Amino acid sequence: MTNEELWNVALGEIELAVSRANFVTWFKDTKIIDQSNGIITVGVPNGFSKEWLENKFHKFILKSLRSNAPEIRAANYSIVAPSANNVKPTKPKFKKEPIFNDAEQLEFREFYIDPKTNLHPKYTLDSFIVGSFNELAHAAAIAVIKNPGRAYNPLFVYGGVGLGKTHLLQAIGNSILKEGPNKKVYYLTSEKFTNELLNSLQNQTIQSFKEKFRDYDLLIVDDVQFFANKTKTQEEFFHTFNTLFESGRQLVFSSDRSPKSIPSIGEINDRLISRMEAGVLVDISEPEYEARLAILKAKSAEKKIDLPESTLELIALMVQKSIRELEGALNTVNIQSKYQNEVLTKEEVRAILSKNLKPRNTITPSQIIKTVAEFYDIPEKSIYEHTRKTEVVRPRQIAMFLLREDLKGSYPYIGQKFGGMDHTTAIHAYEKIHEETKKNTRLEEEIKGIRGKYQNQQR
C-alpha cells in the first residue's frame, strides 16, 4: 500500500467513527508525509489540528493504521503548509453559479419545524462542532442520548448568548428520536411553557395541559432563566418536572447562567433550582481563537463559501463573542465579496466587521502566563511543567484564574494551555484563587499588578 492509499483507508474508518463536522474540521488537508522504520508522520495544516489529533484521535488513528499495516509502531504529527495544488484561485467565480445553489436550497428546510416536537432538522450532532470550549457539554449530551433518563438527569447546560445551547439541546432531541422514533420528545422555551400554561388556564384546559406534559419521554426546556419571577409558572413546572423525573423520563434544560445565579424569589423557586442542580451541570464557554477559525472553516464548507484563509483568520481574530456572531460576520463578508466580485483586502474586511463590533481584548494566553512568571520571578517554562513546587503551583493557579476571568477560557482549554493538565486542575485553581481574592487583599493587589502589566502591552 502506498502512503496515500493507507491514509485513505484510515480516513475512511475515521470518517465512520466521528461526526461529519469534526471530520471536516480536523482531518481536512491531512496526509501521510513520511513512513520510516514503522513510524508514520502525518502532515497537518496547523497547530490546532495537530493538538487535536494528538490529544483526541491519536489512539484511534494508530489503531486503524495498524489494522492495515501491522508493521507500524508509532505515529506523529507535523505541521506542513498546504501544497501548491490545494491553493484556491484568488478570484471566486460567482457569476457562473446558478441562482439557487445547494446551500440556499438547504436553507428552505429551515422553515420546517415539526409541530409535534418543535424540533428543527438542521440542529444535529453531526453539524455541531466540538472544541475545548464546549466539549464537556457535548460529552454530556452524548451520555444523555446513549442512556436517556439514567445517569445524566436532569442535564443543565448554561452559557452566554449564541454559544450553541439551543443547537445542542435540539440535537439531543433529534438524536433520541432518530434512535427511537416512537419516543415522545418535546422541545420548548420557558416562555412558550408560560404561554401555554396561561392559555390553558384561560380556556380551562389545564387538565389536558398537565396530561400532555406528563407524558413525554424527553422534555427539553430552553432558556429557563425566564422562569424567574413567575411564581405560578414555576409551580406548575415544578410539578411537571417532579412527575417526569420520578417516572424516569429525561429532562434537559438550558439557561444563560448557572442555576445558582438565577435570582431566587421564594421557596418553590429554591426547590426547583436545587432539583436542577442535583443533576449534571455543564457550561459552554466562548470559543478560543483556534476553535473560532475551525468553526468558520466548517461553516464555509457547509454553506459552500469560498473565502481566502487570511480572511477567515481575520474574522476569527476580530469576532470573539459567539458562534452566532461568527456566522453573521462570515455571511456579511461573503455577500460583500460576491457583490464586489473580488477578494476583499484586509482593510475592507476590517471595515465591514468593525461596523458591528465593539473592540475586544487581544491578549493571548501565553502573554498572560509570561507576565505572571515575570511577576513572580520564576522561569516561564516551569509553569508548563507538571511540578508541585509551591513557588510554581501558586503562580500557575493565578495564571489559570486570569485565563478564565480575562479570556473566558473553558476549563479544558485552560488545562490544555498548561502542558495538558486536566480540566479539574483548572477548576480547582480558579475556585481557589477566586475564593482567596475575597479575603486576601495582598493577593488582590498582586493580581491587579499583573493585569496592569499585560493590559499595558496592548496597543
Q: Is 166 annotated as a binding residue?
A: yes
Residues in the site for ligand ADP, rule: CB under 6 A?
127-129, 134, 161-167, 323-324, 327
In the list ligand ADP, Mg ion, none, the entry touching 162 (Cβ below 5 to 8 angstroms by class) is ligand ADP
Going through 160-243 in order, the beta strands assigned E by DSSP cover: 185-189, 218-222
220: DSSP letter: E
Instruction: Say which entry of Mg ion, ligand ADP, none residue 189 contacts (CB below 5 to 8 A, set by partner kind).
Output: none
Q: Is 90 annotated as a binding residue?
A: no
Residue 163 binding result from ligand ADP, Mg ion, none, given CB thresholds of 5 to 8 Å by partner type: ligand ADP
Cβ proximity to Mg ion: between 78 and 195 the closer is: 195
364, interface contact from Mg ion, ligand ADP, none, CB < 5-8 Å by kind: none
Phi and psi at 261, nearest 5°, equal -90, 0
User: Is 164 one of the annotated binding-site residues?
Assistant: yes
Task: Choose between 82 and 162: whose C-beta lies nearer to ligand ADP.
Answer: 162
Q: Which is nearer to Mg ion, 131 or 164 (CB)?
A: 164
Shortest separation between residue 411's beta carbon and Mg ion, angstroms: 22
What is the C-alpha to C-alpha distance for residues 418 and 270, in angstroms, rounded to an integer? 38
The residue among 144 and 414 lying less far from Mg ion, judged by its C-beta, is: 144
Is residue 159 annotated as involved in ligand binding? no
Q: How far is the CB of 351 from Mg ion (least distance, A)?
A: 30
Residues in the site for Mg ion, rule: CB under 5 A? 165-166
| Closest distance to ligand ADP from the beta carbon of 376 (Å) | 36
Q: Which is it for strands 31-36 and 39-44: parallel, antiparallel or unpaired?
A: antiparallel
Alpha helices for 319-458 (secondary structure H): 323-340, 346-356, 365-375, 380-384, 390-407, 411-417, 423-439, 441-457
Task: Give the Å distances, CA to CA, from 152 to 29, 139, 183, 251.
Answer: 37, 11, 18, 9
State the nearest-atom distance from the C-beta of 202 to ligand ADP, in Å. 29
| Cα 141 to Cα 158: distance, rounded to the nearest angstrom | 13
Least CB distance to ligand ADP at residue 42 (A): 25
Residue 253 has φ and ψ, to the nearest 5°, of -125, 155
The site partner of 277 among Mg ion, ligand ADP, none (C-beta below 5 to 8 Å per kind) is none
Residue whose C-alpha is closest to residue 154's, from 247, 250, 223: 250
Q: Is there a contact between 233 and 185 (Cβ–Cβ < 8 Å)?
A: no
- Binding positions: 162, 164-166
- Binding positions for ATP: 162, 164-166
